Chain A
Amino acid sequence: SQTIHQWPATLVQPVGSPLSLECTVEGTSNPNLYWYRQAAGRGLQLLFYSVGIGQISSEVPQNLSASRPQDRQFILSSKKLLLSDSGFYLCAWSGLLGGIIPEAFFGQGTRLTVV
């Protein structure tokens, strides 16, 4: 069965420190992978999506970057965190179940507080 792992669940980081959030999926190959952010009181904002290894599309210019070093691994990074980077970060994947039916799964999310 398909599963998605995202960690850590919560994170408190000082301003100016680096960030690395990791997401891995199991039970599927060549998934589309996504990073979303939800700021306090706001909806989900698409940050990055990837349709394959090394293929990253950025939706919103910002202090963050994403990488996909392996088919089932998606990493969200920052070299220097800003206070405005605080929020709830969600990893997701979508693909075709059985090669036919579109399916989607979501990680549990990471609540990042930059202090």
Chain B
Amino acid sequence: AQSVTQLDSHVSVSEGTPVLLRCNYSSSYSPSLFWYVQHPNKGLQLLLKYTSAATLVKGINGFEAEFKKSETSFHLTKPSAHMSDAAEYFCVVSDYGGSQGNLIFGKGTKLSVKP
């Protein structure tokens, strides 16, 4: 069955330090994977997506993620956190099957950035 697990509900980093938001997935098919960001009282903004091309995906605002099939992971990273990165981040899986159509959200990771 499909599933998405965001391993941390809350991550806190200092400004200028690296960011790592973890996402593991389970899929019986060849999935596409997405990271979305939601700032307070705002809609979802696409950061980056993996759709079977290069496994290292670069997104907006300096974020990137690496698709590792052997580890079933799609962790989001950024070398240096900025105060404006404070938001909630969602990992999403889309594939061919599953009972809930084929779009599964993780529960989200709230990123706090300390000055």
Contact = CB atoms under 8 A, between A and B. Distances in A.
Q: Is the interface of A mostly helix, strand, loop or mixed?
A: strand
A90 B38 CA distance: 12
B105 A32 contact: no
A43 interface: yes
A109 B44 contact: yes
Nearest to A59: B100
Contacts of B105: 36, 43-44, 46
Contacts of B31: 102
Nearest to B51: A101
Given A46-B100, A90-B44, A101 B52 contact: yes
Given A44-B108, A49-B101, A102 B51 contact: yes
Please indicate which of the listed interface residues A57, A101, A107, A111 has the most CB atoms of chain B within 10 Å of its own CB.
A101
B107 interface: yes
Contact of B92 (A49, A104, A108): A104
B32 A51 contact: no
B108 to A, nearest CB: 5
A97 B96 CA distance: 12
Interface size class of A (residues with CB under 8 A): 20 to 34
Interface string B20-40: 000000000011101010000
Interface of A: 32-34, 36, 43-44, 46, 49-51, 57, 59, 90, 92, 94, 96-97, 101-104, 106-109, 111
A43 B110 CA distance: 10
Given A50-B101, A111-B41, 7 more contacts: A43-B105, A97-B51, A102-B96, A102-B102, A103-B94, A104-B103, A106-B46
A111 B36 CA distance: 18
A106 B36 contact: yes
